[in-house]
Amino acid sequence: MAPRYTVSTEIAFSSSHSLDGYDGDCARLHGHNWILRVYYEFSRLDDQGIAVDFCVLSARVREVVLPLLDHRHLNDVPLFEGVNPTSENIAAAIFSLLRREVVFDGGGLSAVELWETPTDMVRYSEE
């Protein structure tokens, strides 16, 4: 069996949204302090025994995600043009963005978790 290392980091951002066609409170403008956890899987380590440096992973995720989503009204972000900015759709969009923009040798993005509240989250992967 081949080795597999899962490396994760977490970042936070704040943004607002409203859900189109939703029958409830979330149809109105409201905000969240989101927690994003990303998971990368690696099949090998470097000469130092590291899959990816945590500092590098965190910095790259921040560089890609925060300018697009932090302190934004998600309904107005081009990433969600024609897409209802539900937690599920936000997680899928972040996954697609990171898979394209945050790439490492020997491994790849396996999943993202987007926490809308301390008790509610969606996990998105394409396995």
Q: pLDDT, tens digit, for every residue of 11-22?
A: 999 999 999 999
Two structure tokens written together for 97: 């963005």
In terms of Cα–Cα distance, which of 98, 121, 95, 97 is closest to 32? 121
pLDDT for 2: 81
Asked whether residue 127 carries a pLDDT value surpassing 80, the answer given is: no
In terms of Cα–Cα distance, which of 55, 54, 10, 56 is closest to 33? 10
Dihedral angle of Cα 93, 99, 100, 102, to the nearest 10 degrees: 120
Q: Could you tell me if 96 and 103 are in contact, meaning their C-beta atoms sit under 8 angstroms apart?
A: no
Question: Quick one: pLDDT band at residue 68, thresholds 50, 70, 90?
Answer: very high
Is residue 71 annotated as part of the catalytic site, yes or no? Answer: yes
| Cα(32)–Cα(18) distance, integer angstroms | 11
SS3 state of residue 93: helix
Q: What's the predicted TM-score (pTM) here?
A: 0.95
* Mean pLDDT, rounded, of the chain: 96
Asked whether residue 73 is marked as a ligand-binding residue, the answer is no
Asked whether residue 1 carries a pLDDT value surpassing 90, the answer given is: no
- φ/ψ bin of 100: left (φ > 0), alpha (ψ from -120 to 50), beta (otherwise): alpha
Asked whether residue 17 is marked as a ligand-binding residue, the answer is yes
Is residue 55 annotated as part of the catalytic site, yes or no? Answer: no
Asked whether residue 3 carries a pLDDT value surpassing 90, the answer given is: no
The percent of residues above 90 in pLDDT, for the chain, comes to 95
- Give the chain's domains with CATH numbers: 5-124 (3.30.479.10)
Is residue 26 annotated as part of the catalytic site, yes or no? Answer: yes
pLDDT tens track for 37-61 = 999 999 999 999 999 999 999 999 9
Average pLDDT for 24-39: 97
pLDDT for 21: 95
Catalytic-labelled residue, pool 10, 63, 71, 126:
71
